[in-house]
Amino acid sequence: MEDVSLSAKQQLPTAEYAVEVAHLHKEFGSFQAVTDLNFRIAKGEIFGLLGPNGSGKTTTLNMISGLSAPTSGEVKVFGLNPRKQSNSVRRLLGVVPQETALYEELTAERNLAFHAELFGYRRRQKGERIQAMLELAQLQDRAKSRVKTFSGGMKRRLSIGRALLHDPWLVYLDEPTLGVDVQSRNVIWDYILKMKQEGKSVLLTTNYLEEANALCDRIGIIDKGHLIAEGTPAALKAQFGSSVLDLEITGTALEDVRELLLGVAGVQSIEIIENRVAVSLASLNEGDAGTLLPVILRKVTDSGGVIRHMALREPSLDEVFLSLTGKGVRD
Ligand SMILES: Nc1ncnc2c1ncn2[C@@H]1O[C@H](COP(=O)(O)OP(=O)(O)OP(=O)(O)O)[C@@H](O)[C@H]1O
């Protein structure tokens, strides 16, 4: 029998990686929810798993936490098998599920106390941890209120406090800021960055690419249960194109502009968004930019188009996502 009680601060495990997923498959009947998935999360790293709805993110998280058994392939959490060494993994892992699994009829404090008891905290230590987590969730003044009176953001903050109560080395958060107000979102972002500073590893899923960009060291893009791209936010954006030229045009059909510009060397792809075209440019040297931009502008004006506004900017992760999956992250 593995020991689950916590008497002292847990030591950082010696395994090389916080998470290793290798050739992971999950089938529900004949449906392949996860197909040959491979990725690793280093210690102290924030890794974001991004994908459209139904792409297999929650299924993957469930296999990492040991809730669900892989059909084949391997998952390790700090070198441990989450199914066979579930008690040890439970101590190392803090889980913030998509649906907050709090006891609505209990107070914030009782919810935390319940969790502390599960982990075998002794009385004094328990009180200290609960106070620390109420503080972290910025809910000290609502400690004695029932959870059912809380807003979505407050519940999510409490859920994170509960997941961190036993001081885990890996925290996974399924859509941590979905539907929360901006103030709570900022508090949650601060926690996530603080966890990293403390050497903890974080695995998060999100539909907000702005969130992934702001927080993640590396991102894996998952589609139909398979990882189709992986890298730092900067590397993924560079793969898409070095920069994007936004042109607001009147006087001509934007579809015609797209056809014209797609033939220009150095133009990688073109999106039409309302009354503007977003022209993705391949990696440019400074000299090339000087020649490519006038070529593009001349093509537009020669076709009768009037350029009302133009701006050169970095590509967004949304654009990377769209180009890789053919759909928006929230479609
Ligand atoms: N227990 C199950 N039985 C049958 N199919 C399932 C089961 N769990 C998940 N699926 C299917 O597997 C696919 C992946 O689901 P999953 O919940 O992992 O996606 P997700 O990327 O987390 O999506 P969301 O962002 O909507 O939560 C979906 O098509 C879903 O319908």
Give the ipTM of the model, two decimals please. Answer: 0.95
Q: How far is the CA of 28 from the centre of ligand 1 (A)?
A: 9
Distance 270 CA to ligand 1 centre (A): 32
Mean pLDDT of the region 46-68 = 92
For the chain, give the percent of residues with pLDDT over 70: 93
Nearest alpha carbon, ligand 1 atom 1: 28
List the one residue out of 247, 217, 246 whose CA is nearest residue 233.
217
Determine the residue of 27, 31, 206, 221 to mutate for testing ligand 1's pocket, defined as the one with the most ligand atoms within 8 A of the Cβ atom: 31
Per-position DSSP letters for 308-328, written without gaps between them: EEEEEEPPPHHHHHHHHHSS-
Q: Mean pLDDT over residues 129-157, rounded?
A: 92
Mean pLDDT of the chain: 88
Q: What is the pLDDT of residue 33?
A: 96
CA proximity to 212, closest of 68, 47, 60: 47
Q: Does residue 108 contact residue 140 with C-beta atoms inside 8 Å?
A: no
The predicted structure's pLDDT at residue 321: 78
Are 193 and 136 contacting, i.e. CB atoms less than 8 angstroms apart? no
pLDDT of 129 > 70? The answer is yes
Rounded Cα distance between 183 and 140, Å, is: 17
CA 102, 67, 215 angle in degrees (round to 5)?
70
Is the pLDDT assigned to residue 41 strictly greater than 50?
Answer: yes
Say how many Å lie between the CA of residue 64 and the centre of ligand 1: 15
Residue of 55, 96, 331 to mutate, ligand 1, most atoms within 8 A of C-beta: 55
Index of the ligand 1 atom closest to the CA of residue 55: 21
Say how far apart CA 108 and CA 158 lie, in whole Å: 7
> Where residue 20 falls among pLDDT bands split at 50, 70, 90?
very high
Task: Tell me which residue has its CA closest to atom 6 in ligand 1.
Answer: 28
- Ligand 1 centre and the CA of 209: distance in Å? 20
Contact by Cβ (8 Å): 39, 152: no
Measured in angstroms, how far is the CA atom of residue 60 from the centroid of ligand 1? Answer: 9
Q: How far is the CA of 38 from the centre of ligand 1 (A)?
A: 18
In this predicted structure, the answer to whether residue 3 has a pLDDT above a threshold of 70 is no
C-alpha 310/C-alpha 139 separation (Å) is 47
- At 2 the pLDDT is 42
CA of 87 to the centre of ligand 1 (A): 26
Residue 150 binned pLDDT confidence (cut-offs 50, 70, 90): very high
Q: Whose CA is nearest to atom 16 of ligand 1?
A: 56
Give CA angle at 138 (45, 118), nearest 5°: 70
Residue 136, token pair as written in the block: 């972290």
Average pLDDT over residues 201-222: 90
d(C-alpha 104, C-alpha 131), whole Å: 19
Q: Which residues have C-beta atoms less than 6 Å from ligand 1?
A: 28, 31, 33, 51, 53-59
pLDDT in tens, 241-289: 778 899 999 998 999 999 999 989 888 888 898 889 999 887 666 566 6
* 235 alpha carbon – ligand 1 mean position (Å): 29
The winner for highest mean pLDDT among 66-75, 178-187, 284-293 is 66-75
CA-proximal residue: ligand 1, atom 7 (nearest): 28
Highest mean pLDDT: which range of 97-106, 132-141, 267-276: 132-141
Q: Which domains does the chain show, CATH number per domain?
A: 17-236 (3.40.50.300), 242-314 (3.30.70.100)
First to last CA, the chain: 46
Q: Whose CA is nearest to atom 31 of ligand 1?
A: 54
Closest CA to ligand 1's atom 28: 54
Calculate how far, in angstroms, residue 175's C-alpha sits from the geometric centre of ligand 1: 14
235 φ, ψ to 5°?
-65, -40
